Structure 1
Amino acid sequence: MASPVQIILNPNNFSEDRDKPGGGGPKTDFFLDDDIGFVAHRQNVLKQLADVRAGLQRQAPTFGPVGFVKVILRRKAWAKSHRPLHVLFSERRTRLVGNLDLGELIVEATPQALAEIEAEVARAEDHTQRRFNERTKKMEAVPTPRRSETGAIDSVELYGAGDRRQFDLDQAVVWLSNPKTGGQYEVELFEIPPVPANYDIAGFRRQLFESFTAGLQHLGTGLDVHALPRRVGSEQPTYAVRLEQSAQPPIVRMLPSVGERGRAIAPFDPNRDRHARLVKFLESHPLVKKIELPGVVVRSEGVVRTRPQTATIQQRDRAKAWPRVGVIDGGISDAALGDWVVGRWDPLAAQDMDHGHGTFIGGILVAGSAMNGPQTSTDADGVELYDIAVYPNSDNAFANYYRDLTGFLDEVENAVAEAKAQHGVRVFNFSMNVQVLVSAGHYSKVAGRLDHIADTHDVLIFISAGNLNASAGRPEWPATPDMALQLMAASQNDGIQVPAESARNVSVGALNPAGLGAHSVDHAPARYSRRGPGLRALVKPDFAFTGGSGTPMQPLGHGLYSVAPNGSLADSCGTSYATPFIAKQAAILDSEIEGEVSRETLVALLTHHAQIPLPLSDKTLNVIARQLCGHGMTAPVASVLEGGNHQITLVFATRLEKDRQMNFRFSWPSCLVGPGNACRGSARLTLVSSPPLDQRFGAEFTRINVEAALQQEQISRGGEVSWKGQLKPLYLPISGIEHPYEAERVEHGMKWSPVKTSGATMPKGRGASTNWRLVVSYLSRTDNDEMPDEGVPFTAILTISDPKMEQPVFQVMRQQLLQSVQIADIRTAARVVSRV
């Protein structure tokens, strides 16, 4: 008997006041019973503070008294409650302006403020203090906030040139000579300078702003500085700075211009001395946060090899409603797939198009299952295509159309808006990457732009994780886990590429096809597929799918087939070609579920049913598996929407509002309850949310942590009721130990990640109560200030099943729920509920 996925129709009925977080308990003494160590540490912190204060005083005559300071926390002190922001670096003295990596704070400070902080640190007590706890009947450490916060600090440093620039000057000049870059540095500032008329209200920052704009003017002729657009206020203000072969006076515009610039663009100036002078000024100025080289967008592709056969593409039935996907690429061939193209956005001239890459992707969307067989995909073929032909075939053509990456992304957004408005397209394939590795502590502007597009237009973009070059590819996946660990330990510079760290969208890695022979392990990570996680708080790539073998062998070639522009069969490989398989699944889900399906629900359905492929299933490969295939290989859509009678899947799609939580109470299915009310079976929980994002805070860019817990009632001997979480994150290392520190909760428990999965199998039964609850709540980075007025949308999916596949869990639990809960098949729920 089939058991369709059930959606809870009245999730708002289970909203209640939020249980306020406990704040991490009493203050922590990070030098418990190590008084000698603390005294030495305190002296070290005092010296560092004095050095930073002296540095600010030295730069004050030129830049004014204000500067920026890095406060680096010890790993055990990453939690919000441990941060030295209450007594030492308090709001009265300093201003928190951002983060770098996890536990690396940036504060604005003055010499006077640092002197006050030094005085507070010096007053921290030498010895561990204890007090008897009447409740626990134990002596407990009770450090003062000064000792606790001083102990939380690992180091204090002046934010300097090494933080602002990580590139070599000679390499920069060569890179900027590429016309696709626009020839311009991208310079992030901590703050936007006001117009000169408002300098009088800038206070002690006035000299900081005046020195920056004046310093740019003093660099002389042939300098163009203009503000790049900010879509949201949380974006770091960024400026394009370009050296030109021009006798024109410097043009410095610190505020965004309205519309396009009217002047002709002068040639790029590669003079190294001018670049050295510019970069030296920028990297020494306190207002500058980061100097970056612009990204260059490339297609994540392998060579498409045509074969003698003609590809068989089914004819489109125009009377049928088909799933739709927008293909953002270089164009789709009319000769091969014109019948399936329902719309085009094609600013490119014919001579600037290259249809090979986009047509191969389109062929997978339209007929990938038929051309590759059930070992690769069993999803129904037939997807209508919206052809977004925006990627030209040469660097010079790219520069002619867009000037830079920002212009390219503007064109992409315009096309996405048109496809959504005119054709209802919500799923897009973006098999392109920027030639920059994702940084562990930096949420890129390109990923942020794609996330903005997803939010603004309510779309979902599927992004390739990126390919290693043929010369840098790993050897083929070995036969044993030990050898696989050695292989990955030896691999370097193989991280995912921007914008695969996108938080609102989905990135995809590649697996080997099945059935290629002894040289290729079925469904092992492809040798060219890049690995995550990039930003530490995320699981990236999100998924992996068959993308073709990186070691072609006759007669099967790469083992992944699609269509060439001339209509012939072709084979190739790349994360580019794994991506459309999963984009297709999302489009089918969007098509088969009535009404507007939330992006959170689409991602949650794909995540909830994904499975780690067999070559990565050994427990010793847990971390490697997450880096290479994220949540796993997605399941066929038919099995996502309908399971067996031995399981029930419940979907909760709603919003968390400020100071509220969802608390859904239910009874464990009676067919899985044993003697003493012990509850057996398996449970899997997936949570996908869209919290506010803030690029200024680096690795801590997600500002709300939405958390879900499946809890069982516990009754003490004295009759007190409590609730115990019974699931564990699916990403814990092999030890499976409990992780008490924020660092481990972030890296293994996916705290602060928008996507979380947890689960447990209880073959012998657990607990002594059939009363359970699913609680979804949240934690803010800054004491609840960042919860949006509209709340945070989320989808939680819970599956309860009998691992032996014997008990009628679906029938039993559905009957139990119908007594108090409104539920329906998710495919038709839009008839009676507003949010799916």
Structure 2
Amino acid sequence: MTTSPKEKLPLKKVVIREGDYFRPGGGGSSPKVFEPVTQAVREGLAKKLQTTARHFENAFSENSQTAAVARIALKDEALAKSHRPVSLLERADCPIVGIDHLGELLVSVRPATIPKLERALTGDTTKKGVANISTIRLIEPFSVRDDQLTSLTAAVSDGEISTLKLRLFRHGDTQVDATIASSFAAKMKSLGLGAEAVNYGEHMTVYRIRGVRAEHVEELGRFVGTQSLDSFPEYEIVRPAAQPVVRLTAAVFPAPDRDVDYPVVGLIDSGIDPNNAHLNAWVAGREHYVPVADRDYEHGSFVGGLLVHARLMNHGDTRFPLAECKIVDVVAMPRGGKITEDELLAILWEVVPKYPHVRVWNLSLAGSRPCSNHTFSDMGIALDEIQTKFGVTFVLAAGNYNKPPFRDWPVTSNLGDSDRICGPADSVRAVTVGSIAHRDSPGARVTAASPSPFSRRGPGPVYLPKPEVTHYGGNCDPSGGHAQIGVLSVDGRGNLAESIGTSFASPVIAALLAHLQHRPVGGLSNLVARTLLVHSCALGTDLRTSSTEVNYRGYGVPANVDEILGSDPWRATLIFEMDLKAGVDLQLTPFPLPDCLVSDGVMKGEMTVTLAYEPPLNSRFGSEYCRTNVDVSLGTFNADEQGERAHHRQVHPFPRRGEKSALEKGLIEQGLKWSPTKVYRRCMPRGVNADQWRLVIAATDRSGQPNTAVRVAVAVTIASLEEDAHVYNDMVRSMNQLGWSTVDIQIRGRDRFRASR
């Protein structure tokens, strides 16, 4: 049984009540000792600390008030926050000021505090002290790697670069940070260099240093306050030349309807062809950051066309959405398609707040440095800061892998990390978009519905799911040819043209996201819109999808707008949005079920849960950048023989990622702990026996993270396996019987008519 768009039933947003929050019991456990702390262990760690102190002797002799940073690496089994040696370090006045790789603490040390720490390592015999010492594997000085300095020196010597990007540590102590800033200014003066601050956000101190010579590199890298030294990455728009098909006409690219209130998407690209009247009719604003002589409208026009008429230009293919958007055209990328990170950031900080009504911005560009396993790119972090500050969402292309013969599917060659996503596609708050093929041919590298041969894959740092979603960006043969298997849009000369790239999957998702925010009466928050986007992907993805496939496909391809914003009689979707603090769970007991899916206490059907939340972020903490974890458990709440009830998760993380682990590293890899987007799914053809179900949403903070509220959104869909049951009506009846209050998400009629025609 199916419904037409006009027959779609409204999604239900559940009103959260004060009584739905619950403070679970339980206290802390005794400190755990991971190995005997013998005299040899103590002396070994003390010796490592002494070596670290000698490394910083020159800096300390120059200024006894300055601070340096030591790296303290923990044992793999001691990574959980409950085991961290915080007490030991705090008593020695050596605070944790950051995290590098997983389990690597960056600790502030000074001439006066190193002896305190050494005494604690050699003489603390308290139970907590011994447990803290037993977690430590290594102590060493933090400094910029030798190979990095060698590489930069060579690049400067060869004239490839003369401008460097230097990031200073922040110690979280006003006096210490001021001392380091003063020492840095003195260092710049002694070298005859100037340092210009670049805005990367609240938690980063970054400088642009011009006119660098080879002899300066080591001086800058060895400065006691330097956290990193590098060149500014370049970002580019890369694609094969678009192949013209026919001249663009109003039949393929109609003008906007004056009576329709369209959402607006910001497009930061090479610019839209000002001579294309068809496309310019959709431009609602324009900003120029490139001189006229340096402009090339090819890429920007192609992306812009897909923000407006993706389906019409692609032969009415219903896999492309009808989601027309107006555009703020930001001409940022010059001819040649490259821009440095600091230049791009300056544009973003200026242009995004100029258009407060624009909540979705498309960036179809990418870097060339595959993302790290452990830390997030500076550009991704800066985008997160902009999104948080201005309440917007960036939609980012996953980037293109451009080496022939490209990648096949299933993948048969080991490409290492060469086809992995690059910054800024690792931005936590952004939606990253991969590409899949919508067409194939006898010579094509992959078949239709496979990941495109050029689409970069995930995961992001610390197993962050990236890309989250995919859409159609074309296919190619082993040489990159794409005739008849590419995507159609507008070139820079007024033609309907064909090309390929993740750049052209991204605007389709940006248009969908803008409509999800815009078309409901009263609008939807960015977070709920993002949740529904990913939820739609999950609902259409095969339950047998592996975690490896998700690295290429994300959670799938979203449905069209009306499908996402509506429900069918045989399934019901509930939306929850709330502020949540660690230590106070949301517990909905009992959780309603539709009577038509329950027989003799056995529930048969399919359940899908999507969670998205906005964790506090802090770039000082490297691999622990996301500072709060939220988890959802939808399961049974049965009573035992003594009448005691216990919760058992029944809807499991999707996709399955190997055997369960209780260690922190395993929870991150297999359970996506700390990831702000999670999906849970289960199909129950044999049924699950329960007299009661329960939904629990709980938050956990990182060590040292202030307990602040986190915004959370959850979508839950309960469906019949046969599409013939009255799930929706039964679910509404069950919620009413439990006294739940819900609000229908109504769709604006005029917009709905336009997008559903």
TM norm structure 2: 0.89
Work out whether residues 671 and 808 of structure 1, in 8 Å CA contact, stay in contact via their aligned partners in 2: yes
Worse-superposed segment, 741-750 or 144-153: 144-153
Query: Residue 776 of structure 1 aligns with which residue?
Result: 697
Letter in 2 for 1:414: E
Structure 2 CA distance for aligned equivalents of residues 528 and 344 of structure 1: 31
Query: Residue 607 of structure 2 aligns with which residue?
Result: 683
Query: Residue 34 of structure 2 aligns with which residue?
Result: 30
Alpha-carbon shift at residue 15 of structure 1 (Å):
4.4
1:280-319 to structure 2, matched below 5 A, reads 280-308=218-246, 310=248, 312-319=252-259
Q: Which runs of 5+ in 2 are unaligned?
A: 750-757
Q: Which runs of 5+ in 1 are unaligned?
A: 126-142, 195-200, 244-268, 399-403, 479-483, 831-836
Query: Residue 152 of structure 1 aligns with which residue?
Result: 135
Work out whether residues 549 and 558 of structure 1, in 8 Å CA contact, stay in contact via their aligned partners in 2: yes
Query: Residue 82 of structure 2 aligns with which residue?
Result: 81
Work out whether residues 728 and 760 of structure 1, in 8 Å CA contact, stay in contact via their aligned partners in 2: yes
- Distance change >3 Å, CA 450–CA 777, structure 1 → 2: same
1:544 aligns with 2:514: no
Encode CA deviations 1:768-801: one digit per residue, 9 max, x unaligned: 32x22222221111355151xxx32221111112
Encode CA deviations 1:717-763: one digit per residue, 9 max, x unaligned: 22222222222211332x4x222111111122111111111122233
1:16-415 to structure 2, matched below 5 A, reads 16-19=21-24, 22-23=27-28, 25-31=29-35, 44-57=44-57, 59-64=59-64, 66-86=67-87, 88-90=88-90, 92-110=92-110, 113-122=113-122, 144-162=127-145, 165=148, 168-173=151-156, 177=160, 183-191=162-170, 202=175, 211-220=183-192, 223-229=193-199, 231-232=201-202, 235-243=203-211, 274-276=213-215, 278-308=216-246, 310=248, 312-333=252-273, 334-335=275-276, 336-373=278-315, 377-394=319-336, 405-415=341-351
Structure 1 CA distance for aligned equivalents of residues 656 and 459 of structure 2: 15
Letter in 1 for 2:718: I
Query: Residue 465 of structure 1 aligns with which residue?
Result: 398
Structure 2 CA distance for aligned equivalents of residues 163 and 14 of structure 1: 57
- Distance change >3 Å, CA 383–CA 212, structure 1 → 2: closer
1:583-732 to structure 2, matched below 5 A, reads 583-611=510-538, 622-657=546-581, 660-665=584-589, 666-675=591-600, 677-732=601-656
Correspondent of 1:476 among 381, 398, 408: 408
Encode CA deviations 1:336-363: one digit per residue, 9 max, x unaligned: 5122222222343432221110111122
SS of residue paired to 2:195: strand
Letter in 1 for 2:475: S
Alpha-carbon shift at residue 331 of structure 1 (Å):
1.1
Worse-superposed segment, 679-688 or 435-444: 435-444
- Distance change >3 Å, CA 560–CA 417, structure 1 → 2: same
- Distance change >3 Å, CA 390–CA 53, structure 1 → 2: closer
Encode CA deviations 1:628-671: one digit per residue, 9 max, x unaligned: 22222222222212232221110012222575432223233222
TM norm structure 1: 0.81
Structure 2 CA distance for aligned equivalents of residues 14 and 608 of structure 1: 27
Query: Residue 676 of structure 2 aligns with which residue?
Result: 754
Encode CA deviations 1:84-135: one digit per residue, 9 max, x unaligned: 212x32354311110112211100124664444444444688xxxxxxxxxx
Query: Residue 754 of structure 2 aligns with which residue?
Result: none
- Distance change >3 Å, CA 41–CA 516, structure 1 → 2: farther
Query: Residue 833 of structure 1 aligns with which residue?
Result: none
Structure 2 CA distance for aligned equivalents of residues 578 and 772 of structure 1: 39
SS of residue paired to 2:86: coil
Structure 2 CA distance for aligned equivalents of residues 22 and 575 of structure 1: 49
Worse-superposed segment, 324-333 or 6-15: 6-15
Structure 1 CA distance for aligned equivalents of residues 53 and 26 of structure 2: 36
Alpha-carbon shift at residue 189 of structure 1 (Å):
1.1
- Distance change >3 Å, CA 332–CA 783, structure 1 → 2: same
Work out whether residues 266 and 361 of structure 2, in 8 Å CA contact, stay in contact via their aligned partners in 1: yes
Alpha-carbon shift at residue 413 of structure 1 (Å):
3.6
- Distance change >3 Å, CA 175–CA 444, structure 1 → 2: farther
Worse-superposed segment, 666-675 or 564-573: 666-675
Alpha-carbon shift at residue 617 of structure 1 (Å):
7.5
1:810 aligns with 2:728: yes
- Distance change >3 Å, CA 555–CA 460, structure 1 → 2: closer
Alpha-carbon shift at residue 556 of structure 1 (Å):
3.4
Work out whether residues 544 and 629 of structure 1, in 8 Å CA contact, stay in contact via their aligned partners in 2: yes
Structure 2 CA distance for aligned equivalents of residues 446 and 162 of structure 1: 21
Structure 2 CA distance for aligned equivalents of residues 612 and 650 of structure 1: 14
Alpha-carbon shift at residue 562 of structure 1 (Å):
1.1
Query: Residue 247 of structure 1 aligns with which residue?
Result: none
Letter in 1 for 2:308: V
Structure 1 CA distance for aligned equivalents of residues 308 and 98 of structure 2: 45
Structure 2 CA distance for aligned equivalents of residues 753 and 175 of structure 1: 42
SS of residue paired to 1:610: helix
Structure 2 CA distance for aligned equivalents of residues 176 and 408 of structure 1: 23
Letter in 2 for 1:565: G
* Alignment RMSD: 3.2
Worse-superposed segment, 54-63 or 633-642: 54-63
- Distance change >3 Å, CA 154–CA 406, structure 1 → 2: same
Alpha-carbon shift at residue 494 of structure 1 (Å):
2.1
Alpha-carbon shift at residue 17 of structure 1 (Å):
4.4
1:445 aligns with 2:378: yes
- Distance change >3 Å, CA 633–CA 167, structure 1 → 2: farther
Work out whether residues 200 and 381 of structure 2, in 8 Å CA contact, stay in contact via their aligned partners in 1: no
SS of residue paired to 1:507: strand
Structure 1 CA distance for aligned equivalents of residues 476 and 43 of structure 2: 56
- Distance change >3 Å, CA 646–CA 100, structure 1 → 2: same
Work out whether residues 15 and 660 of structure 1, in 8 Å CA contact, stay in contact via their aligned partners in 2: no
- Distance change >3 Å, CA 175–CA 808, structure 1 → 2: farther
Structure 1 CA distance for aligned equivalents of residues 280 and 492 of structure 2: 10
Structure 2 CA distance for aligned equivalents of residues 160 and 441 of structure 1: 17
Query: Residue 712 of structure 2 aligns with which residue?
Result: 794
Give the count of matched residue pairs: 735
Alpha-carbon shift at residue 376 of structure 1 (Å):
6.6
Query: Residue 253 of structure 1 aligns with which residue?
Result: none
Structure 2 CA distance for aligned equivalents of residues 767 and 71 of structure 1: 49
Alpha-carbon shift at residue 564 of structure 1 (Å):
1.6
SS of residue paired to 2:588: strand
Encode CA deviations 1:118-176: one digit per residue, 9 max, x unaligned: 44444688xxxxxxxxxxxxxxxxx9434433332232211123189466034532797
Letter in 1 for 2:560: P
